[in-house]
Protein backbone atom coordinates (compact mmCIF):
# COMPACT_ATOMS: atom_id res chain seq x y z
CA UNK A 1 0.00 0.00 0.00
CA UNK A 2 1.36 3.47 -0.83
CA UNK A 3 1.59 6.17 1.93
CA UNK A 4 0.57 9.74 1.42
CA UNK A 5 3.57 12.09 1.03
CA UNK A 6 2.50 14.31 3.94
CA UNK A 7 2.58 11.34 6.32
CA UNK A 8 6.13 10.49 5.33
CA UNK A 9 7.19 14.11 5.92
CA UNK A 10 5.57 14.18 9.40
CA UNK A 11 7.31 10.95 10.43
CA UNK A 12 10.73 12.26 9.37
CA UNK A 13 10.21 15.49 11.29
CA UNK A 14 9.38 13.58 14.48
CA UNK A 15 12.51 11.48 14.23
CA UNK A 16 14.61 14.62 13.78
CA UNK A 17 13.15 16.26 16.91
CA UNK A 18 13.82 13.15 19.03
CA UNK A 19 17.40 12.93 17.79
CA UNK A 20 18.13 16.59 18.54
CA UNK A 21 16.73 16.18 22.05
CA UNK A 22 18.94 13.17 22.75
CA UNK A 23 22.06 15.00 21.57
CA UNK A 24 21.30 17.97 23.81
CA UNK A 25 20.77 15.66 26.80
CA UNK A 26 24.09 13.95 26.19
CA UNK A 27 25.94 17.26 25.88
CA UNK A 28 24.42 18.50 29.13
CA UNK A 29 25.71 15.50 31.08
CA UNK A 30 29.48 15.65 30.95
CA UNK A 31 32.13 14.34 33.36
CA UNK A 32 32.70 17.84 34.60
CA UNK A 33 29.14 18.35 35.80
CA UNK A 34 26.21 20.45 34.58
CA UNK A 35 26.60 22.81 31.65
CA UNK A 36 25.96 26.48 31.19
CA UNK A 37 25.29 28.32 27.98
CA UNK A 38 27.59 30.87 26.46
CA UNK A 39 27.04 33.06 23.40
CA UNK A 40 28.20 31.48 20.14
CA UNK A 41 28.75 32.79 16.66
CA UNK A 42 25.97 35.06 15.32
CA UNK A 43 24.30 35.17 18.73
CA UNK A 44 23.84 31.40 19.00
CA UNK A 45 24.33 29.72 22.41
CA UNK A 46 26.47 26.61 22.88
CA UNK A 47 27.01 24.31 25.90
CA UNK A 48 30.30 24.33 27.86
CA UNK A 49 31.21 22.14 30.89
CA UNK A 50 31.28 23.75 34.33
CA UNK A 51 33.06 21.99 37.23
CA UNK A 52 30.89 20.74 40.06
CA UNK A 53 33.20 22.53 42.54
CA UNK A 54 36.01 25.00 42.24
CA UNK A 55 39.21 23.32 43.55
CA UNK A 56 40.77 25.05 46.54
CA UNK A 57 44.42 26.02 46.21
CA UNK A 58 46.73 23.54 47.94
CA UNK A 59 48.36 24.71 51.16
CA UNK A 60 52.08 25.43 51.07
CA UNK A 61 54.67 23.85 53.31
CA UNK A 62 57.18 25.54 55.60
CA UNK A 63 60.60 26.80 54.59
CA UNK A 64 63.91 26.02 56.24
CA UNK A 65 65.02 22.70 57.70
CA UNK A 66 63.24 19.43 58.44
CA UNK A 67 63.28 19.01 62.24
CA UNK A 68 62.65 15.56 63.70
CA UNK A 69 63.87 13.18 66.42
CA UNK A 70 66.19 11.64 65.51
CA UNK A 71 67.35 14.39 63.19
CA UNK A 72 67.63 13.60 59.50
CA UNK A 73 71.16 12.98 58.24
CA UNK A 74 70.91 15.51 55.40
CA UNK A 75 68.45 17.85 53.73
CA UNK A 76 69.02 19.61 50.42
CA UNK A 77 66.54 22.43 50.02
CA UNK A 78 65.13 23.68 46.75
CA UNK A 79 62.95 26.61 45.65
CA UNK A 80 59.27 25.85 45.70
CA UNK A 81 56.09 25.80 47.79
CA UNK A 82 56.81 22.62 49.76
CA UNK A 83 53.96 20.39 50.88
CA UNK A 84 51.30 20.36 53.55
CA UNK A 85 48.38 17.96 53.96
CA UNK A 86 45.13 19.06 52.34
CA UNK A 87 41.57 17.73 52.31
CA UNK A 88 42.38 16.14 48.95
CA UNK A 89 45.61 14.46 50.11
CA UNK A 90 45.89 10.76 49.35
CA UNK A 91 48.56 8.22 50.29
CA UNK A 92 49.47 6.41 47.10
CA UNK A 93 50.67 2.79 47.27
CA UNK A 94 49.61 -0.54 45.81
CA UNK A 95 46.92 -2.00 48.12
CA UNK A 96 48.11 -5.48 47.18
CA UNK A 97 51.79 -4.65 47.69
CA UNK A 98 54.22 -4.78 50.63
CA UNK A 99 53.66 -1.12 51.56
CA UNK A 100 49.93 -1.43 52.17
CA UNK A 101 50.29 -1.42 55.98
CA UNK A 102 52.62 1.59 55.92
CA UNK A 103 50.21 3.42 53.62
CA UNK A 104 47.19 2.62 55.78
CA UNK A 105 48.93 3.82 58.93
CA UNK A 106 50.10 7.07 57.36
CA UNK A 107 46.68 7.74 55.80
CA UNK A 108 45.03 7.32 59.17
CA UNK A 109 47.54 9.62 60.85
CA UNK A 110 47.11 12.32 58.21
CA UNK A 111 43.36 11.90 57.89
CA UNK A 112 43.96 11.22 54.20
CA UNK A 113 42.53 8.87 51.62
CA UNK A 114 44.21 6.06 49.74
CA UNK A 115 44.93 5.57 46.06
CA UNK A 116 46.61 2.67 44.25
CA UNK A 117 48.52 4.86 41.74
CA UNK A 118 48.42 8.14 39.85
CA UNK A 119 50.00 10.45 42.42
CA UNK A 120 49.09 14.09 41.92
CA UNK A 121 49.70 17.40 43.66
CA UNK A 122 48.87 17.19 47.37
CA UNK A 123 49.55 13.44 47.61
CA UNK A 124 52.17 11.32 49.37
CA UNK A 125 53.55 8.45 47.31
CA UNK A 126 55.35 5.45 48.85
CA UNK A 127 57.80 3.55 46.66
CA UNK A 128 60.11 0.55 46.91
CA UNK A 129 63.14 0.43 44.64
CA UNK A 130 65.78 -2.29 44.60
CA UNK A 131 68.17 0.26 43.14
CA UNK A 132 67.66 2.84 45.89
CA UNK A 133 70.98 3.81 47.47
CA UNK A 134 69.51 3.89 50.95
CA UNK A 135 70.76 0.80 52.77
CA UNK A 136 68.36 -1.51 54.57
CA UNK A 137 66.73 1.12 56.77
CA UNK A 138 67.40 4.37 54.93
CA UNK A 139 65.10 6.34 52.66
CA UNK A 140 64.77 9.50 50.62
CA UNK A 141 61.89 11.90 51.10
CA UNK A 142 61.47 14.28 48.17
CA UNK A 143 59.09 17.22 48.20
CA UNK A 144 58.40 18.59 44.74
CA UNK A 145 55.35 19.75 42.75
CA UNK A 146 53.47 20.00 46.07
CA UNK A 147 53.66 16.29 46.64
CA UNK A 148 55.92 14.01 48.70
CA UNK A 149 57.62 10.86 47.43
CA UNK A 150 59.20 8.47 49.94
CA UNK A 151 61.53 5.90 48.36
CA UNK A 152 63.50 3.09 50.00
CA UNK A 153 64.96 -0.31 49.32
CA UNK A 154 62.90 -1.97 52.08
CA UNK A 155 59.53 -1.46 53.70
CA UNK A 156 61.35 -0.61 56.97
CA UNK A 157 63.04 2.29 55.18
CA UNK A 158 59.72 3.52 53.82
CA UNK A 159 58.23 3.24 57.32
CA UNK A 160 60.98 5.43 58.77
CA UNK A 161 60.33 7.94 56.00
CA UNK A 162 56.69 8.10 57.06
CA UNK A 163 57.81 8.73 60.67
CA UNK A 164 59.85 11.67 59.46
CA UNK A 165 56.88 13.00 57.51
CA UNK A 166 54.55 12.63 60.48
CA UNK A 167 56.92 14.50 62.78
CA UNK A 168 57.42 17.25 60.19
CA UNK A 169 53.65 17.73 60.02
CA UNK A 170 53.35 17.72 63.82
CA UNK A 171 56.19 20.21 64.19
CA UNK A 172 55.72 22.70 61.36
CA UNK A 173 52.64 21.61 59.45
CA UNK A 174 54.41 20.03 56.46
CA UNK A 175 57.70 19.67 54.63
CA UNK A 176 59.82 22.26 52.85
CA UNK A 177 60.75 21.89 49.20
CA UNK A 178 63.78 19.65 48.77
CA UNK A 179 65.14 16.18 49.47
CA UNK A 180 65.83 14.38 52.75
CA UNK A 181 68.45 11.63 52.55
CA UNK A 182 68.48 9.62 55.74
CA UNK A 183 69.73 6.36 57.21
CA UNK A 184 70.78 5.09 60.67
CA UNK A 185 74.39 4.88 61.80
CA UNK A 186 73.80 1.69 63.85
CA UNK A 187 71.56 -1.26 62.94
CA UNK A 188 70.63 -2.18 66.55
CA UNK A 189 68.77 0.58 68.38
CA UNK A 190 66.60 -0.19 71.33
CA UNK A 191 65.25 -0.45 74.84
CA UNK A 192 65.72 -3.17 77.44
CA UNK A 193 62.88 -3.68 79.88
CA UNK A 194 63.16 -5.74 83.05
CA UNK A 195 59.70 -7.28 83.40
CA UNK A 196 60.92 -10.00 85.76
CA UNK A 197 61.34 -7.87 88.90
CA UNK A 198 58.35 -5.66 88.07
CA UNK A 199 55.27 -6.62 86.09
CA UNK A 200 54.43 -4.29 83.23
CA UNK A 201 51.00 -4.81 81.63
CA UNK A 202 50.88 -5.66 77.95
CA UNK A 203 49.15 -2.34 77.19
CA UNK A 204 52.02 -0.41 78.78
CA UNK A 205 54.59 -2.32 76.76
CA UNK A 206 52.60 -1.72 73.57
CA UNK A 207 52.53 2.01 74.32
CA UNK A 208 56.35 1.94 74.57
CA UNK A 209 56.50 0.18 71.20
CA UNK A 210 54.59 3.04 69.59
CA UNK A 211 56.90 5.52 71.28
CA UNK A 212 59.95 3.61 70.08
CA UNK A 213 58.67 3.44 66.52
CA UNK A 214 58.33 7.22 66.36
CA UNK A 215 61.99 7.43 67.38
CA UNK A 216 63.04 4.86 64.75
CA UNK A 217 64.19 2.39 67.43
CA UNK A 218 64.03 -1.21 66.27
CA UNK A 219 64.71 -3.56 69.23
CA UNK A 220 62.93 -4.30 72.51
CA UNK A 221 64.76 -6.70 74.83
CA UNK A 222 62.52 -8.31 77.45
CA UNK A 223 64.28 -9.67 80.53
CA UNK A 224 61.48 -11.85 81.90
CA UNK A 225 63.29 -14.23 84.27
CA UNK A 226 65.12 -13.29 87.47
CA UNK A 227 65.22 -13.98 91.20
CA UNK A 228 62.02 -12.01 91.82
CA UNK A 229 59.84 -13.53 89.15
CA UNK A 230 59.35 -15.48 85.95
CA UNK A 231 56.82 -13.42 84.03
CA UNK A 232 55.85 -15.38 80.92
CA UNK A 233 53.41 -18.26 80.65
CA UNK A 234 55.12 -21.64 80.17
CA UNK A 235 53.64 -24.97 79.17
CA UNK A 236 56.80 -27.01 79.64
CA UNK A 237 57.41 -25.69 83.16
CA UNK A 238 54.24 -24.00 84.47
CA UNK A 239 55.48 -24.49 88.03
CA UNK A 240 58.08 -21.71 87.67
CA UNK A 241 55.70 -18.99 86.42
CA UNK A 242 54.88 -16.11 88.78
CA UNK A 243 51.26 -15.46 89.62
CA UNK A 244 51.40 -12.09 87.86
CA UNK A 245 52.72 -12.65 84.36
CA UNK A 246 52.13 -12.12 80.67
CA UNK A 247 50.22 -14.84 78.87
CA UNK A 248 51.53 -16.22 75.62
CA UNK A 249 48.57 -14.64 73.87
CA UNK A 250 49.54 -11.25 75.27
CA UNK A 251 53.13 -11.81 74.19
CA UNK A 252 52.00 -12.78 70.69
CA UNK A 253 50.11 -9.50 70.55
CA UNK A 254 53.22 -7.59 71.66
CA UNK A 255 55.39 -9.37 69.09
CA UNK A 256 52.82 -8.85 66.32
CA UNK A 257 52.53 -5.13 67.06
CA UNK A 258 56.31 -4.84 67.26
CA UNK A 259 56.76 -6.48 63.89
CA UNK A 260 54.21 -4.14 62.31
CA UNK A 261 56.33 -1.26 63.65
CA UNK A 262 59.57 -2.85 62.41
CA UNK A 263 60.72 -3.61 65.96
CA UNK A 264 62.29 -6.93 66.95
CA UNK A 265 61.45 -8.35 70.40
CA UNK A 266 64.54 -10.02 71.88
CA UNK A 267 63.83 -12.45 74.73
CA UNK A 268 66.24 -12.92 77.62
CA UNK A 269 66.41 -15.87 80.00
CA UNK A 270 69.43 -15.10 82.17
CA UNK A 271 71.44 -18.08 83.38
CA UNK A 272 73.15 -19.64 85.27
CA UNK A 273 72.57 -16.80 87.74
CA UNK A 274 69.39 -14.76 88.22
CA UNK A 275 67.24 -17.90 88.35
CA UNK A 276 65.79 -17.47 91.82
CA UNK A 277 62.19 -17.74 90.60
CA UNK A 278 63.01 -21.08 88.94
CA UNK A 279 64.75 -22.30 92.09
CA UNK A 280 61.66 -21.66 94.20
CA UNK A 281 59.98 -24.43 92.25
CA UNK A 282 63.17 -26.52 91.89
CA UNK A 283 65.21 -26.22 95.08
CA UNK A 284 67.05 -29.42 94.12
CA UNK A 285 68.91 -27.39 91.47
CA UNK A 286 70.18 -24.80 93.97
CA UNK A 287 73.94 -24.20 94.05
CA UNK A 288 75.41 -24.53 97.55
CA UNK A 289 78.86 -23.77 98.83
CA UNK A 290 81.13 -26.02 100.89
CA UNK A 291 79.20 -25.13 104.05
CA UNK A 292 75.86 -25.97 102.46
CA UNK A 293 74.82 -22.32 102.14
CA UNK A 294 72.75 -21.45 99.05
CA UNK A 295 74.19 -19.08 96.47
CA UNK A 296 71.49 -16.56 95.65
CA UNK A 297 69.82 -17.10 92.29
CA UNK A 298 72.45 -19.58 91.09
CA UNK A 299 71.76 -23.05 89.74
CA UNK A 300 74.23 -25.89 90.12
CA UNK A 301 75.85 -25.92 86.69
CA UNK A 302 77.33 -29.35 87.35
CA UNK A 303 73.80 -30.81 87.41
CA UNK A 304 72.57 -31.80 83.91
CA UNK A 305 68.97 -31.29 85.08
CA UNK A 306 69.59 -27.54 85.39
CA UNK A 307 70.80 -27.33 81.79
CA UNK A 308 67.88 -29.44 80.61
CA UNK A 309 65.34 -27.12 82.25
CA UNK A 310 66.82 -23.96 80.72
CA UNK A 311 67.05 -25.61 77.29
CA UNK A 312 63.40 -26.68 77.60
CA UNK A 313 62.44 -23.03 78.00
CA UNK A 314 64.64 -21.81 75.16
CA UNK A 315 63.08 -24.35 72.81
CA UNK A 316 59.55 -23.67 74.03
CA UNK A 317 59.81 -19.97 73.26
CA UNK A 318 61.73 -20.34 70.02
CA UNK A 319 58.64 -19.93 67.82
CA UNK A 320 57.01 -17.34 70.09
CA UNK A 321 59.89 -14.96 69.42
CA UNK A 322 60.81 -14.87 65.72
CA UNK A 323 63.72 -12.56 66.56
CA UNK A 324 67.12 -13.26 65.04
CA UNK A 325 68.60 -12.88 68.57
CA UNK A 326 68.33 -14.71 71.90
CA UNK A 327 69.89 -13.06 74.94
CA UNK A 328 71.29 -15.74 77.23
CA UNK A 329 72.52 -13.60 80.13
CA UNK A 330 75.55 -15.19 81.77
CA UNK A 331 76.28 -12.39 84.23
CA UNK A 332 76.82 -12.33 87.98
CA UNK A 333 77.13 -16.05 88.67
CA UNK A 334 77.48 -16.14 92.45
CA UNK A 335 80.17 -18.83 92.57
CA UNK A 336 82.54 -16.51 90.74
CA UNK A 337 82.15 -13.75 93.32
CA UNK A 338 84.32 -15.82 95.64
CA UNK A 339 88.02 -15.09 96.03
CA UNK A 340 88.63 -18.83 95.72
CA UNK A 341 85.76 -20.49 93.81
CA UNK A 342 87.48 -23.89 93.73
CA UNK A 343 87.76 -23.99 97.53
CA UNK A 344 84.33 -22.55 98.22
CA UNK A 345 82.54 -24.69 95.61
CA UNK A 346 84.46 -27.95 95.53
CA UNK A 347 81.70 -29.84 93.71
CA UNK A 348 81.88 -27.38 90.81
CA UNK A 349 85.67 -27.59 90.78
CA UNK A 350 85.57 -31.38 90.62
CA UNK A 351 83.04 -31.31 87.77
CA UNK A 352 85.23 -28.83 85.89
CA UNK A 353 88.27 -31.11 86.13
CA UNK A 354 86.28 -34.17 85.10
CA UNK A 355 84.83 -32.50 82.03
CA UNK A 356 87.62 -30.19 80.91
CA UNK A 357 90.89 -31.50 82.33
CA UNK A 358 93.01 -31.11 85.43
CA UNK A 359 93.77 -27.46 84.74
CA UNK A 360 90.12 -26.46 84.52
CA UNK A 361 88.34 -24.44 87.19
CA UNK A 362 84.89 -23.10 88.04
CA UNK A 363 85.17 -20.34 85.43
CA UNK A 364 85.70 -22.97 82.76
CA UNK A 365 82.57 -24.77 83.86
CA UNK A 366 80.61 -21.49 83.66
CA UNK A 367 82.03 -20.75 80.21
CA UNK A 368 81.07 -24.22 79.01
CA UNK A 369 77.55 -23.75 80.42
CA UNK A 370 77.04 -20.61 78.36
CA UNK A 371 78.61 -22.21 75.28
CA UNK A 372 76.05 -25.02 75.56
CA UNK A 373 73.12 -22.59 75.85
CA UNK A 374 74.50 -20.72 72.83
CA UNK A 375 74.48 -24.02 70.92
CA UNK A 376 70.80 -24.43 71.79
CA UNK A 377 70.05 -20.91 70.59
CA UNK A 378 71.84 -21.53 67.32
CA UNK A 379 69.88 -24.77 66.83
CA UNK A 380 66.81 -22.51 66.92
CA UNK A 381 68.32 -20.28 64.26
CA UNK A 382 69.20 -17.50 66.71
CA UNK A 383 72.34 -15.41 67.18
CA UNK A 384 73.27 -15.59 70.90
CA UNK A 385 73.85 -12.42 72.87
CA UNK A 386 75.43 -12.50 76.35
CA UNK A 387 76.50 -10.06 79.04
CA UNK A 388 80.18 -9.15 79.06
CA UNK A 389 80.73 -10.50 82.60
CA UNK A 390 79.63 -13.91 81.33
CA UNK A 391 82.75 -13.92 79.14
CA UNK A 392 85.53 -15.40 81.27
CA UNK A 393 89.14 -15.04 80.19
CA UNK A 394 92.24 -17.06 80.90
CA UNK A 395 90.74 -20.53 81.22
CA UNK A 396 91.08 -23.75 79.29
CA UNK A 397 87.54 -23.33 77.92
CA UNK A 398 87.03 -20.24 75.78
CA UNK A 399 83.75 -18.53 74.85
CA UNK A 400 82.60 -19.50 71.38
CA UNK A 401 83.08 -16.95 68.65
CA UNK A 402 79.57 -16.85 67.15
CA UNK A 403 77.90 -14.49 69.59
CA UNK A 404 77.48 -10.81 70.35
CA UNK A 405 78.44 -9.31 73.70
CA UNK A 406 76.28 -6.81 75.54
CA UNK A 407 78.79 -4.61 77.35
CA UNK A 408 77.33 -2.99 80.44
CA UNK A 409 79.91 -2.80 83.17
CA UNK A 410 83.47 -2.39 84.26
CA UNK A 411 82.54 -3.27 87.84
CA UNK A 412 82.75 -7.05 87.58
CA UNK A 413 85.49 -9.17 89.15
CA UNK A 414 88.44 -9.16 86.79
CA UNK A 415 86.85 -6.41 84.71
CA UNK A 416 88.14 -6.13 81.18
CA UNK A 417 88.18 -3.16 78.85
CA UNK A 418 85.87 -3.20 75.81
CA UNK A 419 88.88 -3.31 73.49
CA UNK A 420 89.77 -6.81 74.74
CA UNK A 421 86.47 -8.15 73.45
CA UNK A 422 86.74 -6.26 70.18
CA UNK A 423 90.27 -7.54 69.61
CA UNK A 424 88.92 -11.03 70.31
CA UNK A 425 86.55 -10.64 67.37
CA UNK A 426 83.26 -10.10 69.24
CA UNK A 427 80.88 -7.31 68.37
CA UNK A 428 79.72 -5.25 71.34
CA UNK A 429 76.22 -3.94 72.02
CA UNK A 430 76.45 -0.77 74.09
CA UNK A 431 74.57 -0.77 77.42
CA UNK A 432 77.08 1.42 79.25
CA UNK A 433 75.82 1.56 82.84
CA UNK A 434 77.38 5.00 83.26
CA UNK A 435 74.80 6.50 80.89
CA UNK A 436 72.19 3.92 79.91
CA UNK A 437 71.08 2.23 83.16
CA UNK A 438 67.75 3.40 84.54
CA UNK A 439 67.66 1.43 87.80
CA UNK A 440 64.55 1.85 89.91
CA UNK A 441 65.34 3.17 93.37
CA UNK A 442 68.95 4.02 92.37
CA UNK A 443 70.66 1.26 94.40
CA UNK A 444 74.38 0.41 94.31
CA UNK A 445 75.43 3.96 93.39
CA UNK A 446 73.30 4.02 90.24
CA UNK A 447 71.62 7.31 89.41
CA UNK A 448 68.80 7.87 86.96
CA UNK A 449 70.30 8.76 83.58
CA UNK A 450 69.47 12.12 82.12
CA UNK A 451 68.71 12.65 78.48
CA UNK A 452 70.91 15.75 78.53
CA UNK A 453 74.02 13.82 79.53
CA UNK A 454 73.40 11.14 76.92
CA UNK A 455 72.73 13.81 74.30
CA UNK A 456 75.84 15.84 75.04
CA UNK A 457 78.43 13.22 76.08
CA UNK A 458 77.57 9.69 74.98
CA UNK A 459 77.99 8.01 71.60
CA UNK A 460 77.64 4.33 70.65
CA UNK A 461 81.43 4.03 70.84
CA UNK A 462 81.51 5.15 74.49
CA UNK A 463 81.21 1.65 75.95
CA UNK A 464 82.79 2.11 79.36
CA UNK A 465 83.05 5.26 81.41
CA UNK A 466 83.00 8.36 79.22
CA UNK A 467 85.80 7.63 76.76
CA UNK A 468 85.14 6.15 73.32
CA UNK A 469 87.05 3.14 72.09
CA UNK A 470 89.93 3.90 69.68
CA UNK A 471 89.00 4.73 66.11
CA UNK A 472 90.18 1.36 64.78
CA UNK A 473 87.52 -0.32 66.93
CA UNK A 474 84.77 2.28 66.49
CA UNK A 475 81.83 2.19 64.13
CA UNK A 476 78.94 -0.10 63.30
CA UNK A 477 81.11 -3.07 62.29
CA UNK A 478 82.50 -3.32 65.82
CA UNK A 479 79.68 -1.74 67.85
CA UNK A 480 76.43 -2.39 65.96
CA UNK A 481 74.26 -0.54 68.43
CA UNK A 482 73.01 0.01 71.94
CA UNK A 483 69.99 0.05 74.26
CA UNK A 484 68.66 2.10 77.13
CA UNK A 485 68.09 -0.37 79.98
CA UNK A 486 65.30 -0.18 82.56
CA UNK A 487 66.12 -2.35 85.59
CA UNK A 488 63.60 -2.80 88.38
CA UNK A 489 65.86 -3.68 91.33
CA UNK A 490 63.57 -1.81 93.73
CA UNK A 491 60.34 -2.51 91.91
CA UNK A 492 58.07 -0.27 93.97
CA UNK A 493 60.31 2.78 93.78
CA UNK A 494 58.35 4.02 90.75
CA UNK A 495 54.98 3.32 89.20
CA UNK A 496 54.78 2.23 85.59
CA UNK A 497 53.57 5.74 84.72
CA UNK A 498 56.62 7.27 86.42
CA UNK A 499 58.90 4.90 84.52
CA UNK A 500 57.31 5.93 81.23
CA UNK A 501 57.80 9.60 82.03
CA UNK A 502 61.30 9.09 83.43
CA UNK A 503 62.67 7.35 80.34
CA UNK A 504 61.01 9.63 77.77
CA UNK A 505 63.89 12.05 77.21
CA UNK A 506 66.72 9.53 77.79
CA UNK A 507 65.12 7.29 75.17
CA UNK A 508 64.84 10.18 72.72
CA UNK A 509 68.49 11.08 73.31
CA UNK A 510 69.61 7.48 72.79
CA UNK A 511 67.59 7.33 69.57
CA UNK A 512 69.27 10.51 68.35
CA UNK A 513 72.81 9.28 69.01
CA UNK A 514 72.27 5.78 67.59
CA UNK A 515 70.82 7.25 64.39
CA UNK A 516 73.48 9.96 64.12
CA UNK A 517 76.37 9.93 66.61
CA UNK A 518 77.71 13.30 65.47
CA UNK A 519 77.43 16.32 67.73
CA UNK A 520 73.80 17.44 67.44
CA UNK A 521 73.01 20.79 65.87
CA UNK A 522 70.21 21.59 68.33
CA UNK A 523 70.97 22.59 71.89
CA UNK A 524 69.51 20.40 74.62
CA UNK A 525 66.85 23.04 75.35
CA UNK A 526 65.88 23.14 71.67
CA UNK A 527 65.83 19.33 71.53
CA UNK A 528 63.49 19.05 74.52
CA UNK A 529 61.11 21.63 73.05
CA UNK A 530 61.12 19.71 69.77
CA UNK A 531 60.39 16.49 71.68
CA UNK A 532 57.31 18.13 73.20
CA UNK A 533 56.09 19.23 69.78
CA UNK A 534 56.53 15.93 67.95
CA UNK A 535 55.68 13.52 70.79
CA UNK A 536 53.60 10.59 69.61
pLDDT tens digit sequence for 264-313? 999 999 999 999 999 999 999 999 999 999 999 999 999 999 999 999 99
d(CA 512, CA 210): 17
Model pLDDT, residue 441? 97
pLDDT of amino acid 350: 98
Over range 64-83, report the average pLDDT: 97
pLDDT greater than 80 at residue 469 = yes
Question: What's the whole-model pTM score?
Answer: 0.89
Report whether 472 contacts 529 (CB < 8 A).
no
Q: What is the pLDDT of residues 498-510, one digit of tens each?
A: 999 999 999 999 9
Predicted confidence at residue 414, as pLDDT, reads 60
**pLDDT (0 to 100) of residue 366:** 97
CA distances from 131 to 151, 185, 190 (A): 10, 20, 28
pLDDT tens per residue across span 198-241: 999 999 999 999 999 999 999 999 999 999 999 999 999 999 99
Q: What is the mean pLDDT of the chain?
A: 91
The gap from C-alpha 55 to its chain's centroid, in whole angstroms, comes to: 41
Percent of the chain whose pLDDT exceeds 90: 87
> Is pLDDT of 28 > 90?
no
Q: Which residues touch 486 (CB under 8 Å, ≥6 apart)?
A: 191, 192, 193, 194, 438, 440, 499, 503
What is the mean pLDDT of the segment spanning 350-363?
A: 97
Which of 280-294, 410-424, 513-527 bottoms out in mean pLDDT, i.e. has the lowest?
410-424
User: What angle do helix axes 155-172 and 100-110 make, rounded to 10 degrees?
Assistant: 10
What is the DSSP-derived secondary structure letter of residue 300? Answer: -
Query: What integer pLDDT is reported at residue 27 of this predicted model?
Result: 36
**Confidence band, pLDDT 50/70/90 cuts, at residue 412:** low
Among 47-51, 399-403, 449-453, the minimum mean pLDDT is found in 47-51
**Residue 535 pLDDT class (50, 70, 90 cuts):** confident
pLDDT given for residue 440 in this prediction: 98
> In angstroms, rounded to a whole number, what is the distance separating the alpha carbons of residues 74 and 122?
24
- Reply yes or no on whether the pLDDT at 10 is more than 70: no
Q: Is the pLDDT of residue 410 over 90?
A: no
The pLDDT of residue 523 is above 50: yes
Query: pLDDT tens digits for 175-190?
Result: 999 999 999 999 999 9
Amino acid sequence: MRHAPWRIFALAAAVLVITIGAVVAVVQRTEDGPVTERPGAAGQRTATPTPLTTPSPLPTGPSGEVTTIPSVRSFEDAPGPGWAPADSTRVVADPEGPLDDEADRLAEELGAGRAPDGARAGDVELRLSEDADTGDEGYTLRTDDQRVTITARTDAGVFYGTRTLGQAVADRGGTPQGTVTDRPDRPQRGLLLDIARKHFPAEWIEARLHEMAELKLNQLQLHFSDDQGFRLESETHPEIVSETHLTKEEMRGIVELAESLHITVIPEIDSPGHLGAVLKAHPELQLRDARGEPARGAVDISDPAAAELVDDLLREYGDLFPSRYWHLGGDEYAALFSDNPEADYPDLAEAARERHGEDAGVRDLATAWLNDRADTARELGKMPQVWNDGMHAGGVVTPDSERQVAYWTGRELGAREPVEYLEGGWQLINLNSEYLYYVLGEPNQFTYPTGERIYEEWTPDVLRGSTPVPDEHAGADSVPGGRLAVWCDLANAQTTEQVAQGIKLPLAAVAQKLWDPREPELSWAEFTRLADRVAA
